[in-house]
Amino acid sequence: MNKNPIMQIKNLKKTYNTGKANEVRAVDNISFDIYEGETFGLVGESGSGKSTTGKLLMKLESMTDGQVIFLGESIQNKRSRHDLLAFRKNIQMIFQDPYASLNPKMTVKDIIGGPLEVHRLVSSRKERDQVVYSLLEQVGLSQSFANRYPKEFSGGQCQRIGIARALALQPKFIIADEAISALDVSIQAQIVNLMRQLKQEANLTYLFIAHDLSMVKYISDRIAVMNRGKILELATSDDIYHVPLHPYTASLLSAIPEPDPESERNRQRTTYDESKFTYEQDDPAVGLFEITDKHFVYCHKDEVVGYKEKAERLKQEIMI
Amino acid sequence: MAINSILSVKDLTISFNTFEGEVNAVRGVTFDLKEGETLALVGESGSGKSVSTKAITQLLPQRHTTISKGEIWYHDHDLLKKSSKEMKKIRGKDIAMIFQDPMTSLNPTLTVGRQIAEPLIEHRGMTKQAAKVEAIALMRKVGIVAAEQRFHQYPHQFSGGMRQRVMIAIALACHPKILIADEPTTALDVTIQAQIIDLLKELQAEFATSTIFITHDLGVVANIADRVAVMYAGKIVEIGTVDEIFYNPKHPYTWGLLASMPTMKMDNDDLYTIPGSPPNLLNVPTGDPFSSRNMYALEIDFQEEPPMFKVSETHYAATWLLHPDAPSIEVPEEIKRRNEQFVSILAAKGADSDE
């Protein structure tokens, strides 16, 4: 995989109700890079700030502070319609609820063809329809769907329509926010396979936001674990699962039920005691530290040695 | 194993009258709930799992529902023959329910305490004072700290997990014989889900409640169930003990469900998928409704629905593959792996009983 960052996120912050009693630091000073061609998983429980992060990167929300560089350009300064159009041609989103994110009054043809017209990528209706047909085929739907309405389709089919719409502009980067969690198990697998296949065909980069760790592990190259607006751990997906260093990651992993009665009977859950991992606000000695190669943990600089030992220990356990 | 059944559902057949026509939501469902067990009903949306259990408590919209066939035996009563007045005495007392979304199933305008006390006053004839004491005890039991203060709070002041604990307290207030939990953890985060499942298991052991647990999450099923019934297109297609369903499944639909879930051990191969989507129950196709998605479908699958074939005393599956004349087929890799596990589990069990 080549290591050119397609997006660099530096000290990104989003604070709601700044200065009031109910101030919420939804995204609290996070930094990471997303490389071209990778699938980056962002996991966390509700309220962790993962969806807000996704919206900030798409400019659907404005950031409080920080910098986001996409394809070499800072996104803050993009305010004019012209700039925003150019920006969003390369970055698209797939949403959680396939019914709520498709306009019920529009035909599938208009939904998928909409972005093409807004961006003036087609010169005639006929040309637009041709593109729509080939997009439908790409996501595994028949051309005959084009003149029908979203309500006529199942959840999985609607999600395919949502994916076709995201692909219409041939973006480089796609943010999928809980794109499969509303679907049935057998349909989830179909959509995940489709997303993987499209990624290869169209050379896409994904930011895959989800709470379901087993799916995220399956689809992602690297994973960041978020909690209360902070990234607590960032590593390759293998490392996150085999060498989880932060206790919060370990507790999340231990809570995922597996479809295997025998391992469920022997399951040991670990609980996360948040009070032990709360630091002074804005303490300069606290941050994401690289513990082993490309494996980062949010901690105090004095704790780094301890995490290094832990990593060593866990790695040896795997060897045995 | 002479464990008595506390509830018997026989040949339950339910349809809804809609704008577009008659939807055959439940097409002949038969199962027993044994005393003290947890039976999981698994299936995708529209498979009929919620509808079947709502019929037990008469919670289906009467105007649009036709229950054309079937019996639901609880003790010596057929619940389908009860008037809605008689049912009111059973619902919440003998048979209690927990639903998926604790926000919409609690009344936002009443304090939590009042909602927990209500069944105590209604069904157990307690005074207001006694009910309050009991309600606070229940809140403690389900793990709500500072119960005295929280008794006076409203649902919006509780988090999702805490609201679900309130629902559980209400459901268990009258020590029901049967608990129907309809996707009780689906809306919760994984760590909270784990807590709620542990709580349910603990309380179930204490109150000896028999539970029907509805979910689509096979991980949760593996954790909580004694027996599992897999539903598809309004029918139970396979039923057995949790080990039989997870390690020795016989129905291709069960194979598909198990194989399409990524496990932590899995490498980055493509996920196994069940092609297509579930049938529209407005027009149930002839033959086995699963046949069009079934790569193992035989010719007969398109003509006739398979009956339940017996695999063991506790394990039944509705697939023609179990017919003596069926050709032998190659099962998916994931299922082979599971079958090997089944052999070793059986061996371990055999060794136990020899001792």
Q: What pLDDT digit, counting tens, does each position of A21-52 carry?
A: 888 899 999 999 999 999 999 999 888 999 99
Please tell me what DSSP assigns to residue A219: H
Q: CA–CA separation, A179 vs A162, rounded Å? A: 9
Q: CA–CA separation, B273 vs B255, rounded Å? A: 10
**Subunit contact A185:B222, Cβ cutoff 8 A:** no
Measured in degrees and rounded to the nearest 5, phi and psi for residue A72 equal: 85, 0
**Distance, in angstroms, between B304 CA and closest chain A CA?**
24
Per the domain annotation, does B198 fall within a domain?
no
Per the domain annotation, does B256 fall within a domain?
yes
Average pLDDT (B308-315) is 96
Q: To the nearest whole number, what is the mean pLDDT of chain B?
A: 90
Q: What pLDDT digit, counting tens, does each position of A4-20 carry?
A: 999 999 999 999 998 88
Q: What pLDDT digit, counting tens, does each position of A124-156 carry?
A: 999 999 999 999 998 988 888 999 999 888 888
Q: Which residue has the tokens 């052999």?
A: B343
Residues of chain A in Cβ contact (below 8 Å) with chain B: 45-46, 154-157, 184-190, 192-193, 196, 211, 213-215, 217-218, 241, 251-264, 267, 269, 272
Residue B354 has pLDDT above 90, yes or no: no
Rg (CA), chain B: 22
CA distances from A230 to A13, A175, A221, A235 (A): 10, 19, 20, 15
The pLDDT of residue B355: 43
Using a CB-CB cut-off of 8 Å, the residues of chain A touching B249 are none
- Give the A:B interface size as CB pairs under 8 Å: 112
Q: CA–CA separation, B172 vs B314, rounded Å? A: 29
- CA-closest candidate to residue A30, choices A50, A9, A54: A9
Q: What pLDDT digit, counting tens, does each position of B49-98 carry?
A: 999 999 999 999 888 899 999 999 998 899 999 999 999 999 989 999 99
**Subunit contact A255:B277, Cβ cutoff 8 A:** no
Angle at B341 between CA B340 and CA B346, to 5 degrees: 100
Q: CA–CA separation, B189 vs A252, rounded Å? A: 10
Q: CA–CA separation, B108 vs B101, rounded Å? A: 13
Q: CA–CA separation, A173 vs A54, rounded Å? A: 12
Question: Domain containing B309 — which CATH number?
Answer: 3.40.50.300
Residue B265 has pLDDT above 70, yes or no: no
Per the domain annotation, does B242 fall within a domain?
yes
CB atoms within 10 A of CB B205: 10
- CA-closest candidate to residue A11, choices A31, A37, A25: A31
Q: How confident is the model at residue B267 (pLDDT cuts 50, 70, 90)?
A: low
Angle at B18 between CA B17 and CA B24, to 5 degrees: 55
Q: CA–CA separation, A62 vs A67, rounded Å? A: 11
The domain tally of chain B equals 1
Q: Which of A270-279, B54-63, B240-249 has the highest mean pLDDT?
A: B240-249
CATH of A5-319, one of 2.40.50.100, 3.40.50.700, 3.30.70.20, 3.40.50.300: 3.40.50.300
Using a CB-CB cut-off of 8 Å, the residues of chain A touching B241 are none
Contact call for residues B5 and B227 (beta carbons, < 8 A):
no
Predicted complex ipTM: 0.81
For the record, the structure tokens of A22 come out as 């109910």
CB atoms within 10 A of CB A112: 30
Contacts 24+ apart (CB under 8 A), B86-91: B87/B57, B87/B58, B89/B123, B90/B57, B91/B57, B91/B58, B91/B59
Using a CB-CB cut-off of 8 Å, the residues of chain A touching B219 are 214, 256-259, 264
Q: How confident is the model at residue B278 (pLDDT cuts 50, 70, 90)?
A: confident
**Spatial CB neighbours of A195, under 8 Å, sequence gap ≥ 6:** A163, A176, A179, A206, A219
Q: What pLDDT digit, counting tens, does each position of A169-217 carry?
A: 999 999 999 888 878 877 888 889 999 999 988 889 999 999 888 889 8
The pLDDT of residue B351: 67
Using a CB-CB cut-off of 8 Å, the residues of chain B touching A258 are 219, 222, 263-264
Contact call for residues A259 and B247 (beta carbons, < 8 A):
no
**Domain of B276?**
1-94+210-262+272-355
Contact call for residues A187 and A156 (beta carbons, < 8 A):
yes
Q: Which residue has the tokens 């999702």?
A: B160
Contact call for residues B228 and B248 (beta carbons, < 8 A):
no
Contact call for residues A224 and A33 (beta carbons, < 8 A):
no
> Of B198, B261, B271, which has the smallest distance from its Cβ to A259's Cβ?
B261
Q: To the nearest whole number, what is the mean pLDDT of chain A?
A: 91
> Of A193, A214, A261, which has the smallest distance from its Cβ to B264's Cβ?
A214
CA distances from A112 to A102, A135, A143, A190, A262 (A): 10, 8, 12, 20, 46
Using a CB-CB cut-off of 8 Å, the residues of chain A touching B277 are 154, 156-157, 187
Q: CA–CA separation, A94 vs A44, rounded Å? A: 18
CA distances from B242 to A204, B124, B228, B252, B335 (A): 41, 36, 6, 17, 15
CA distances from A18 to A22, A25, A29, A101, A261 (A): 8, 9, 15, 30, 48
Rg (CA), chain A: 21
The pLDDT of residue B333: 85
Residue B353 has pLDDT above 60, yes or no: no
Whether the CB of B44 is below 8 Å from some CB of chain A: the reply is yes
Per the domain annotation, does B63 fall within a domain?
yes
> Of B197, B218, B262, which has the smallest distance from its Cβ to A218's Cβ?
B262
**Subunit contact B266:A218, Cβ cutoff 8 A:** yes
Residue B2 has pLDDT above 70, yes or no: no
Q: What pLDDT digit, counting tens, does each position of A88-116 carry?
A: 999 999 988 888 899 999 999 999 999 99
Measured in degrees and rounded to the nearest 5, phi and psi for residue B348 equal: -65, -40
Residue B105 has pLDDT above 60, yes or no: yes
The pLDDT of residue B1: 46
Using a CB-CB cut-off of 8 Å, the residues of chain B touching A196 are 270
Chain A residue closest to B256 (CA)? A186
DSSP letters, B224-258, are H-SEEEEEETTEEEEEEEHHHHHHS--SHHHHHHH
The pLDDT of residue B264: 63
- CA-closest candidate to residue A257, choices B331, B45, B201: B201
SS3 B40: strand
**Subunit contact B262:A214, Cβ cutoff 8 A:** yes
